[in-house]
Amino acid sequence: MMSRFSMLCGEVPALGWLLGILASVTAEYVIGEDLSNILGMDKAPVLFGVLMAFKEPLMIPNLLAYAFIIYVFPAVSTGILTRVPANRLAGRLDHLPVIISGLLHISFLYLIIHFWAGMNDYHLIVIKITMISVILTLSMNVINGYMGEFSCSHPGFMAIGAYTTSVMTLVLFTKSRFGAGPILPEAAGPFVFPIVLVIGGLLTSLAALIVAIPSFRTRGDYLAIISLAFTFMIKSIIENMEIIGGARGLGDQPDFSGLTAVFAWTVLCIWVVNNFVTSVPGKAMNAVRDNESAADAMTVNTRKTKITAFMFGAFWAGVAGGLLAHMLRYINPGTFGLQKLAEIFAMVYFGGLNSIYGSIVGAASISLLGEALRPLELYKWIVIPLLLIIVMIKRPTGLMAFMEFNMKKLLRPRDRGKEEGPVG
């Protein structure tokens, strides 16, 4: 029975799962409210209803029933029921160039996310935070996973990205503390904001040289300490710069990190990172990680590889910082401290090193879990690390480490008979 079920699930293509998720989201939209009333809750539980579970432990069975009826059942049953037409459609899309079929799938995913995020503001915030976390996790995975340097500089990178982009948009679009009134109308935002983010990212890359250059001579513990020092350095520099608000923080950024912008940047990040890590110069990072002498002897320019890894990772961390700043619309130096570092580490190591799937899974599960466990307040930081420890015992390199992301393979139809995995 169980094996037949998992076999059926194995036949559902990516497209079928998207349909399944759409079904869940629709179920939540159409009957969520009514069902929660029937089950004796005064309102639909947010994110797995952990808060409600803690307030009224007796409601746990009802919450589980809600989660099953709204999320699990529609997704799985739709996936399985539509597997035949979905496979046929996936097979047809498989013949198109991978970029077109990929874009079609991504657009579909965007529609679903848009639908779900449109239900309430809380959903919108959660989904945006999750996507920004994906960018952050990927960018750290480049340095800590693919490159194998234990770098703790990510909060610092984020802070630089967040502050530089904030200053730029505040000067350009608002009547701010920096004197000049708005130079550009708010309507120009969607066009100018990407440029601002790129500039912020590039500035972060430049700052990353402070960590990258010592990495020529030292690895492991010492580099970890240098990079940690970098994070503290950035934090105290910002705390002492009154012009950008000092320890009080910087607020009133224009609201540019909309769902579309965050989604587009996330997709772009995944695409670029994947291009890079599957190319020879990107794989050279793995060679430097596993054995630097051998990399050198095989013509790999190890210094260039290290600099590239750091600057590339820092760029995306800066972009993520910029997106976050324009989403929260208030940042202070405290946001970019050790807690942030722990959070990113948890995502990277939970999901798995050297893996794009791992980064996505890690970022999504830890940030969703973080949201779900928010009512636990500080105890959240007992539960998440415990979970991390368990994963580390069972799978020392994370859930999905060392897996190559392959769009074509991910989207291909999965009917029986076509199961033997194509090589390459």
Measured from the CB atom, the residue of 49 and 102 that comes closer to other proteins is 102
Measure the CA–CA gap between 191 and 185, rounded to whole angstroms. 11
Cβ 313 to other proteins, closest distance in Å?
A: 13
User: Read out DSSP for 65-118?
Assistant: HHHIIIIIHHHHHHHHHTHHHHHHHHHHHHHS-HHHHHHHHHHHHHHHHHHHHT
Measure the CA–CA gap between 244 and 160, rounded to whole angstroms. 12
Q: Is residue 202 at the binding interface for other proteins, with CB under 8 A as the rule?
A: no
> Segment contacting other proteins (CB under 8 A): 30-38, 70-78, 267-275, 376-384?
267-275
Q: Is residue 293 at the binding interface for other proteins, with CB under 8 A as the rule?
A: yes
Measured from the CB atom, the residue of 174 and 274 that comes closer to other proteins is 274
Looking at residue 213, its amino acid is I
- Residues 362 to 421 in contact with other proteins, rule: CB under 8 A: 402
Q: Which pairs count as long-range contacts for 365-373, CB under 8 Å and 24+ apart, including other chains?
A: 366/133, 367/126, 367/129, 367/130, 367/133, 368/47, 368/126, 368/130, 370/343, 371/47, 371/126, 371/129, 372/47, 372/48, 372/50, 373/50
Dihedrals φ, ψ of 82, to 5°?
Answer: -90, 10
Q: Is residue 272 at the binding interface for other proteins, with CB under 8 A as the rule?
A: yes
Residue selected from 165, 308, 335, 365 as contacting other proteins according to rule CB under 8 A: 308
Dihedrals φ, ψ of 423, to 5°?
Answer: -85, 130
Cβ 189 to other proteins, closest distance in Å?
A: 25
Q: Under 8 Å CB-to-CB from 38, ≥6 apart: which residues?
A: none
Q: Is residue 318 at the binding interface for other proteins, with CB under 8 A as the rule?
A: no
> Segment contacting other proteins (CB under 8 A): 30-38, 159-167, 231-239, 288-296?
288-296
Measured from the CB atom, the residue of 6 and 293 that comes closer to other proteins is 293
Residue selected from 100, 180, 298, 403 as contacting other proteins according to rule CB under 8 A: 298
Measured from the CB atom, the residue of 289 and 412 that comes closer to other proteins is 289
Residue selected from 290, 339, 374, 392 as contacting other proteins according to rule CB under 8 A: 290
> Segment contacting other proteins (CB under 8 A): 9-17, 69-77, 299-307, 319-327?
299-307
Q: What is the largest CA-CA distance in the chain?
A: 70
From residue 310, give the alpha-carbon distance in Å to each of 145, 146, 154, 197, 416.
12, 11, 10, 18, 44
Q: Is residue 141 at the binding interface for other proteins, with CB under 8 A as the rule?
A: no
Measure the CA–CA gap between 50 and 341, rounded to whole angstroms. 25
Q: Which of 17, 132, 154 is nearest to 86 (CA)?
A: 17
Q: Is residue 286 at the binding interface for other proteins, with CB under 8 A as the rule?
A: yes
Count, residues near other proteins per rule CB under 8 A: 32
Q: Is residue 240 at the binding interface for other proteins, with CB under 8 A as the rule?
A: no
Task: Pull the structure tokens for residue 235.
Answer: 């934090």
> Segment contacting other proteins (CB under 8 A): 101-109, 234-242, 300-308, 384-392?
300-308
Q: How far is CA 385 from the centre of its chain?
A: 19
> Segment contacting other proteins (CB under 8 A): 7-15, 17-25, 254-262, 295-303?
295-303
Contact string (CB under 8 A) for other proteins, positions 333-372, x = contact: ---------------------x------------------
Measured from the CB atom, the residue of 283 and 329 that comes closer to other proteins is 283
Which residues of this protein are in contact with other proteins, per CB under 8 A?
271-272, 275-276, 278-284, 286-287, 289-291, 293-302, 308, 312, 354, 402, 423-424
